[in-house]
Amino acid sequence: MKAARARLLHAGPVPAPAALHEVREEFLAHWAAMGTAWGINRTMAQIHALLMVSNRPLSTDEVMADLQISRGNANTNLRDLVGWGLVRSVLRRGERKEFFEAEKDVWKMFCIIVRERRRREITPALSALDACAARTKHLRGADAEAFHQMMERLAEFVRLTNNVMEKVERAEQSSVVPWALRLLQ
């Protein structure tokens, strides 16, 4: 009580725990906003952020309490994060509860996201574009030919993207990618 009041009464260096809490909140909010802009739901991004900056694995209940969300919501999104491979569930011996920890290596994180987005979105998109190209190959007329050409160009570009992403996935071993990226600097 006294400490709290003291903080309000005189200006001075903010105590570390309070300051940290504040900055952490800001980070969670930013990460969530970023996620939203890239098609990831708010809660999932928030949980991910929370686990990224936690120095120990957290239980579902801790996540619920921290983010003020329901059990169902926490469970679903933790499950999804595990599905993405961005979060691992860890068991503590002697405890039945499940704990969760995020992959902390930023480069690995990036590789995982690239792998999953390739698998879930790029590869199917490529099939679709190839199909669109194939099905219009033999059609005649200016419209059809223009359409076909566009499909070819898009497919070619997505194929290149796909290949680049595939290389990035394997980057842990081959280290070609970090090298190429440095080259772009």
Residues that bind DNA (CB under 7 A): 36, 41-44, 59-61, 68-73, 75-79, 95-98
User: Identity (one letter) of the amino acid at 63?
Assistant: V
Rounded least distance, CB 16 to DNA, Å? 29
Residue 39's contacts (CB-CB under 8 Å, 6 or more residues apart) are: none
Chosen residue from 42, 53, 66, 113 binding a second copy by CB under 8 A: 53
Residues 71 to 130 in contact with a second copy, rule: CB under 8 A: 104, 106-107, 110, 120-121, 125, 128-129
Q: Candidates 4-12, 72-80, 83-91, 148-156: pick the segment binding a second copy (CB under 8 A).
A: 148-156
> How many residues in total does the chain contain?
185
Q: CA 175, CA 164: separation in Å to the nearest integer?
A: 13
Q: Is 67 in the site for a second copy (CB under 8 A)?
A: no
Reduced to 3 states, what is the DSSP secondary structure of residue 144? Answer: helix
Q: Which of 117, 118, 122, 82 is nearest to 102 (CA)?
A: 82
Tokens of 128: 């679709």
User: 63 contacts which partner out of DNA, a second copy, none, CB within 5 to 8 A by kind?
Assistant: none
Number of Cβ within 10 Å of residue 59's Cβ equals 16
Q: Tell me the helices (H) and strands (E) count for the chain, helix number first.
A: 10, 3
Q: Candidates 2-10, 59-67, 82-90, 173-181: pick the segment binding a second copy (CB under 8 A).
A: 173-181
Rounded least distance, CB 66 to DNA, Å? 12
DSSP classification of residue 119? I
Q: Is 65 in the site for a second copy (CB under 8 A)?
A: no
Closer residue to a second copy (CB): 91 or 176: 176
Tokens of 181: 């990226």
Residue 156: C-alpha distances to residues 138, 160, 184 (Å): 19, 6, 22
Which chain residues interact with a second copy by CB under 8 A?
Answer: 16-17, 19-20, 23-24, 26-27, 30, 34, 36-39, 52-53, 55, 104, 106-107, 110, 120-121, 125, 128-129, 131-132, 135-136, 139-144, 146-147, 150-151, 153-154, 156-157, 160, 163-164, 167, 176-177, 180-181, 183-185
